[in-house]
Every structure is written in C-alpha cells, then in structure tokens.
Amino acid sequence: MSLAADRASRSLRLTALTKEFATFTAVRSLDLEVPAGSFFALLGPSGCGKTTTLRMVAGLEVPTSGSIHLGDDEITYEKPYRRPVNTVFQNYALFPHLDIHENVAFGLRRRKVKDVDRQVKEMLALVELESQAKKKPPQMSGGQQQRVALARALINRPEVLLLDEPLGALDLKLRRAMQIELKRIQTEVGLTFVHVTHDQEEAMTMADTIAVMNGGVIEQMGSPAELYENPRTTFVANFLGQSNLIAGSVASAEGDVVRVDMHGNQVSIPAERAHARSGEGWVGIRPEKVLLAPAGEPIDAPGNHLTGGIVTDVSFVGVSTQYLVQMPWGQELMAFEQNTGRRAVLAKGTKVDVSWRPEFSFLLPASQDVNAGVLEEA
C-alpha cells in the first residue's frame, strides 16, 4: 500500500524559533531545515529543548518568536488539528476508552475520510496487529501499544511524522527490534520523520541526519558518521560515544596539518578536523582508535606515538577489552581493543606505549568545558 503523502512532501523549516517559559528559555533562536523524506533525529539530554521544539512543530506549544514553515506555508500559529503533522507520543497517549480499530481510525473520522475501515485494516496489517483490532489499549503490551501509536499517526499520511522518544518505554531487546522496524517503515512510506531521543545509539542507528541539542541550541548537525568522527564541540564528543580529551597547545598550523604540543609530545591533526587554529585546545581521540602495545614493541600506526603509559584498569566485555592507561602527566586515557586474539590481554600494571593515526584525532577550542556531555546520557 502506498502511504506516501497525497501532496508532494515538503521540507520543514524552523527559523529563529524561540520558546521562553516563565523561568527559563527552552529553545533559543533555533534554525533548522529538515529535507523532505529524511529521517531526522533531534538528540540531546533531558531538558535540552528537543521535546519543546517537537511540540512547537506539532502545534502543542506556541513559540515565543520565530517561525515554522512547511514548504512555503507558514504554520507557526496554526492549530494542531489544522497542520499535516502527526505525532507518536512518548507514552503513546492511546485513547483508553476506544478499541485499537477506533484509535487508529480517529484521525480519519475527524477528517470525514471515506473508506475508513479498509484503510484501518491495511494500516493494522502494516504494523502486524490485524488480529488485535477489537482490544482496548490497556490490554496490550508496550511494544504493541507503540505500534498502534505509530499506525494511528501514519494512517493520516502526514507530511511530517513526529516521534517523541517513541521507544523510551520499551526494554532493550524490543527497542532494538523496533528501531529496525521503524527504519523499514520510514523507507517504505518515504515520509519525513522527525525523531526526538536522548539515546545516541538509537539516533545513530536510525537517522540520516542528527542534530545534537544542548541548552536550547543545536551544537552540531550532520550525518551520524560525521558527528562521531569529527565533533565540533566537547559536548558532542562526549555525548555521542566517548572521547579522550587531552590538553595541548597549537605549535604550528600550516597547510592541511595542525601540530599540537601535548605535554611534551608532538601530535599532528588534519586541518579540517582542527576546530582551533592557535593557542590552547583539547586534542580528542576516540577510545577504539587508541592502540596499545607493551613498552618498546612496535605499534602499527604511523604518526602520533606516546610512551610511558601504565595500564591501571582492565575490563573484559566480550567483544572488546577496555583499558585505562595512566600517562606520564597523570591523565588516564581510555582504549578499547577488539578481542581478535592477535595478542594476549594486557595485565594491570603493564608498561605500554600508546598510539593513534593522526587522521582520527580532532582538536577543540580550550574554551569549551572538557566535561560537557559526560554522563548526561540517560
């Protein structure tokens, strides 16, 4: 069945969107364009303004200033029931007094669409709940309710489907399954999905584009790989996965290489990944990019090579082993090593050398808080 919107799908554009509440500003002058047909994720810790942004798009919250456009139409102050936008609510918000069939039919009936029963049946087939049509929501499991909520929104063929932490209430296994399911449905129907989540893994698994929000503003926007490999801020570096951030000062910035002095060690960073070109900065490297070898043994990585590390902690987690290595200047670096069996697991107290390929490292301005985004996930 074709669920593609009747109209040609249009892009969603937020311009200088701001929402102030009595005591705080939830969203500050946000600019954002979501291309038609994309799977877009707003990622951030709780209180970062992502849900408020979503609710403004849905029409459930009135912006303090700024505008929201769908294609060329402004919908900033349009009532929620007059915009071609539907929402999958965080706790599903299924109507407890209506059965599943009527829940899914709700939007169609309000718009006086003909042929409701057939459409509902098809929709329930899509989410594999045909047999449950007569049940009431409280009699269903969390995963089933989630699919009903999705069906109830999708059946209206909105130009934009908003998903507010739609998988938050599910357990880990079900969440993984639903992530794949959601992605499949989005690809199938080709609608624009805007997905709000605090789960970075969920955002990276599903979205084409992620906007990382913090404190009411977008810190960085891009494809999952782009954000992960080349974060522009310490917040993104810490919130999306983990990072080692090491203090250093720029020694030279010529051509396409920036050289940084890091506690007496010279490291080089590609210019397009250096977000500071002079003065102090944080050298960033992802733990899985850090290679270890017992002191003096060769490491397969040309370039940045540091000596004098001591293994202070070893955690075996099956697919990998996670090390903490204390460097001569006192900082502990994280290193994740795949358990390929190439070398025995290093014991605590082993003296090691540390190395990484220059093209994996990045440089962030020292003005940013080195701990931003640490442990804020949850």
User: Which residues are near other proteins by CB under 8 A?
Assistant: 58-62, 79-81, 85-87, 89-91, 93-97, 106-107, 110-111, 136, 138-139, 152-153, 156
* Least separation in angstroms between CB 155 and other proteins: 9
What secondary structure letter does DSSP report for 217? E
* Least separation in angstroms between CB 103 and other proteins: 9
Amino acid at 269: I
- Six-digit token string for 84: 């071609």
Residue 93 or 334: the one with the smaller Cβ distance to other proteins is 93
Measured distance CA(321)–CA(310) in Å, rounded: 16
* Least separation in angstroms between CB 335 and other proteins: 41
Residue 86 or 209: the one with the smaller Cβ distance to other proteins is 86
* Least separation in angstroms between CB 273 and other proteins: 42
* Least separation in angstroms between CB 158 and other proteins: 9
27 contacts 17 by C-beta, under 8 angstroms: yes
Residue 51 or 200: the one with the smaller Cβ distance to other proteins is 51
What secondary structure letter does DSSP report for 331? P
3 contacts 188 by C-beta, under 8 angstroms: yes
262 contacts 247 by C-beta, under 8 angstroms: yes
Residue 79 or 118: the one with the smaller Cβ distance to other proteins is 79
In 100-191, the DSSP E strands lie at: 160-164
In Å, how far are 38, 87, 129, 159 from 191, measured between CA atoms? 7, 13, 21, 6
Contacts by 271-274, CB closer than 8 A, 24 or more apart = 272/230, 273/230, 273/359, 273/361, 273/362, 273/363, 274/362, 274/363
Residue 6's Cβ-count burial label (10 Å; 0-12, 13-18, 19+) is exposed
Amino acid at 288: E
Amino acid at 321: T
Residue 37 or 84: the one with the smaller Cβ distance to other proteins is 84
* Least separation in angstroms between CB 40 and other proteins: 18
* Least separation in angstroms between CB 151 and other proteins: 12
Residue 139 or 339: the one with the smaller Cβ distance to other proteins is 139
